[in-house]
Structure 1
């Protein structure tokens, strides 16, 4: 069986995020997925090392890497649209699930069981860390846009920070306190 799975995944780089906002630095789904995976891994490590957790950083990172894979087939729906109406949110979740199953079906049968946990069957605790990493990635984007003088991201930054603080996850609070300020610095200031 020939499979188009990885060819589809490689097209993540063509799907632009933040379509309703003027961006100083465009961001695509592939870039975002990489950052979300790095952040999810970090949150799992922080949970384990600082707060006595037992998260599997590898499983969390892998789930984050694939968390927006369905957008290869659906495109990226802007957050205000996706979450602005419960009926739209529910319908979009169903569309995402269909796309995830379609992607999984593209794999040879012998590989599907290995990919199912990152495409369709994410453990609730893994999902919670991935959602936090996804939101953290969005917050970093907002901070970086503000640093570049793009005030269009001011409200999004405030709303996203509030959501992050509302998660009640100590690993997120630790990340915000320990690492977040650095994203507002220039390269010279990071030295």
Structure 2
């Protein structure tokens, strides 16, 4: 599960760039069924290609691999997906700490997703760092 950290960070920065055109579709809708999931992936790819065409020609080759996932870099994209899930989980924790109960079900669902990923990097992050997100500032001292 070794990935190039520099490339992974770079791809992560741009991984939602297509949402400039598509907007951010809620996860439950995006993954409602395989038809919607496949259609949305097609829309994301078309949006990424459209974005790529807006760049100066000199930039095209540098950004093509960043904006359009390549088959041989699946592990990088899986790592980014895992980080995105962790970020969503942290958002749920923050909302819950603020008294917003609307995120409780999402928090449970995302936690199940993170566990089912069965990734060493996710497990390490969850065991070593996640407790800190549950604490208040006063409790951190």
Work out whether the TM-score is over 0.5: yes
Q: Answer yes or no: is 1:153 the counterpart of 2:100.
A: no
In the alignment, which of 44, 67, 76 is matched to residue 96 of structure 1?
44
Shift of 1:134: 0.7
Aligned residue number for residue 14 of structure 2: 66
Distance 1:156 1:167 in 2: 16
For the aligned residue pairs, the C-alpha RMSD in angstroms reads: 1.1
Shift of 1:156: 0.4
Distance 2:120 2:90 in 1: 18
Distance 1:83 1:54 in 2: 27
Shift of 1:189: 1.9
In the alignment, which of 101, 104, 129 is matched to residue 179 of structure 1?
129
How many residue pairs were aligned?
A: 139
Unpaired segments ≥5 residues, structure 1: 1-52
1:39-118 alignment runs, 5 A limit: 54-118=2-66
Higher relative contact order (CA 8 A, sep 6+): 1
Distance 2:75 2:38 in 1: 21
- 1:100-125 superposed Cα distances (whole Å, 9 cap, x missing partner): 00111111111111111210034111
Shift of 1:164: 0.5
Distance 1:126 1:117 in 2: 12
In the alignment, which of 94, 105, 116 is matched to residue 166 of structure 1?
116
Structure 1 length normalisation: TM-score?
0.70
Q: Give 1 or 2: higher helix fraction.
A: 2
Shift of 1:85: 2.1
Distance 1:115 1:188 in 2: 44
